[in-house]
Amino acid sequence: MDQDGATPIATGGGGSVGVQIQHSRRVLPDFLQSVNLKYVKLGYHYLISNLFTLCFIPLIVVTLVEVSQMDLNDLRHLWLHLQYNLFSIVICSAFLVFGMTVYTVTCPRPVYLVDYFCYRPPDHFKAPYDSFMKHSRLTGDFDDSSLEFQRKILTRSGLGEETYVPAAMHEIPPRPTMVAAREEAEQVMFGALDKLFCNTNVNPKDIGILVVNCSLFNPTPSLSAMIVNKYKFRGNIKSFNLGGMGCSAGVIAVDLVKDLLQVHRNTYAVVVSTENITQNWYFGNKKSMLIPNCLFRVGCSALLLSNKSAERKRAKYRLIHVVRTHRGADDKAFSCVYQEQDDAGKTGVSLSKDLMAIAGGALKTNITTLGPLVLPISEQLLFFATLLVKKLFNANMKPYIPDFKLAFDHICIHAGGRAVVDELEKNLQLLPLHVEASRMTLHRFGNTSSSSIWYELAYTEAKRRIRKGNRVWQIAFGSGFKCNSAVWVALRNVKPSPNGPWEDCIDMYPVKVVS
C-alpha cells in the first residue's frame, strides 16, 4: 500500500482495471458531494445578495400592470389631486432638497490613489545567500552558532537570491554611521519620489500634505524635512513624520491622509513608506535578534493621493475602508517586537516566540470589525447564525470562518516572513493565487517593512489581473502590536506604472519556493 493507504494501480493485466474501477467508485461520490456543496453555497450567496432585487421586481411588474389598466379619466383625476395638494408637494420637495444638501456637505470626500511607485535598488546592492553568509563571517561579530542559525533562517525564510541590502552593509567592516543611514534614506525616498512625480506630471509645489513613516530611523531634521528641502515644497505644507510604528505604519499613514483630506479641499497628499537598515543591523549573537537581519531588506514606496474630483478620471483606486486594531494594552503583545540591547550592549530588534499567536489574535479582532463592512450579507447571516447557535445551545462547534474570497478580488498580505503568509493562507482558507503576490514579493524583495504591500500590489498590476471594480485588501502587522487593513476599489483596468519594480522580471514569476 502507498503511504496514504490507497492500493496502488497495477501496471498491466485485468487487475489494474478492477482496481481503477474500485478507486473511482470510492472517489467519485466524494467529488460529486464537494461539487454539489460548492454550487449550493454559490446559489445561496447569489440568492441572499440579490434578495432585494428579486423581491422588488415583482412589485415593479404589479405597479406597471396597474398603471397600464388606468384609463384617461383616472389619470385626469390624479393630476387634479396633485394640483389641489401643491403646497404639500412644495414642502416635501423643499425637505428633499435640504436633506440632499446636508448629505452632500457632510458625507466623506472620496480619496483617490492617483498613482504610486516602488523603489528598486541598483543590482550591485543584491545580497545572495553565499555573499550574505561570507560577509557575516568576515565581520567577525558572529560565533559559529549564530552563523549556522542565520543560514537556517535564510534557507527557510522564503527569500530569494536577489534581495537588496544597503551599501554600508556591503563594506568590510560594515559602516553603520549616521551619514550612511542618511544616504540610504535619501537614495530610496528620492528614488521613489522622482519616478512618482515623473509618472504623474505633478508639480511638487502642488503637494499640500506629506506623511513619511520609518520605524527605526528618526534623525533631526526629520525624514519629512529632508523631502521638503529636496523638492522645495511650499511653506504651508502639512508635514508629518511617523516613527516607531512598525511594518503596519504604511496603512496608518494612509489613514492619517484620509482624515486630512476630509478637511483640506482640492489638494494632493504624498505618503512615503520605508525602513532604514544601515543603523539597525544587529551585530550580536542573541538568536531572537538575528532574525531581522535575515528578513529585512531595502525598499520604499511613494503614493500620490488626492480628493480632487478631476483626478478620478486618471486615478487607479479609491479608498473604501481603513480598519486599525491596536493590542498595545496587552503586555505580551506590546513586547513581542521590541528594540533593545543584548547583554553585550548591542542594539537590535527582538522577536518573541509568541509573535504568531499574538498576530493571530490581532487579525481576529481586525477582521471581526472589517467583516460587516465588506462581506456580502449571505456570509454575515451564516456567521451570525453559527454564533447564535453556539451561544444559545452551547453547541460544541467550530466558529464559522467567513469566506473573504467573496469580498475581495486581490489580497496583499504583508510579506513579513514565510510563516506569516502560511498562517493567513491557512486561517482565512485562501487559495494559492490569493497569496501569490505576497510570496513572490518576499522572494524577490524580502521584507521591506511598511512598503511591502505596495510591492505586492505592483506585482498584481504587472500580471494585468486588476479589472475595473475589483476590490483589493491590504493587511499589515506591526510592533505595538498592531494589525491594520486598507480596502481599495479599482476605478479602471489598471496597468503597471512605467519603470516599475517588476518591469523586467515579471515573466519569470511565479517561481516555486523551495521548502
443 is catalytic: yes
Residue with the three cell numbers 479608498: 319
Catalytic residue from among 326, 366, 412, 470: 326
Catalytic residue among 118, 285, 307, 410: 410
Options 118, 214, 247, 294, the catalytic residue? 247
Are 446 and 128 within 8 A, CB to CB? no
Using CA atoms in the order 150, 155, 161, 165, what is the torsion angle rounded to 10 degrees?
Answer: -30
Question: Which segments of 138-267 are extended strands (E)?
Answer: 207-213, 238-242
Residue 212 gets the label, from left (phi > 0), alpha (psi -120 to 50) or beta, of: beta
Is 124 assigned a catalytic role?
A: no
Residue with cell 489613514: 255
- In 3D, which of 446, 462, 415 has the Cα closest to residue 125? 446
First-to-last C-alpha distance (Å) of the chain? 27
Options 118, 276, 293, 414, the catalytic residue: 414
Distance (Å, rounded) from C-alpha 317 to C-alpha 453? 15
Q: Are 417 and 158 in contact (CB under 8 A)?
A: yes
Q: At a CB cut-off of 8 Å and minimum separation 6, what does 105 contact?
A: none
45 catalytic per annotation: no
Pairing between β-strand 112-118 and β-strand 207-213 as defined by DSSP bridges: unpaired
CA nearest 450: which of 242, 237, 198? 242
DSSP letters spanning 51-75: HHHHHHHHHHHHHHHHHHT--HHHH
Residue whose C-alpha cell is 460544541: 396
447 is catalytic: yes
Among residues 274, 94, 268, the alpha carbon closest in space to that of 184 is found at 274
Please say if 410 is a catalytic residue. Answer: yes
Distances (CA, A) of 294 to 127, 214, 305: 10, 19, 33
Q: Whose CA is closest to 261, among 448, 454, 414, 109?
A: 109
Separation CA 136–CA 131 (nearest Å):
8
Cα–Cα distance between 57 and 143 in angstroms, integer?
75
* CB count in 10 Å sphere of residue 403: 18
The residue from 241, 285, 307, 447 that is catalytic is: 447
In the set 443, 470, 483, 484, the catalytic residue is 443
Catalytic positions: 247, 326, 410, 414, 443, 447
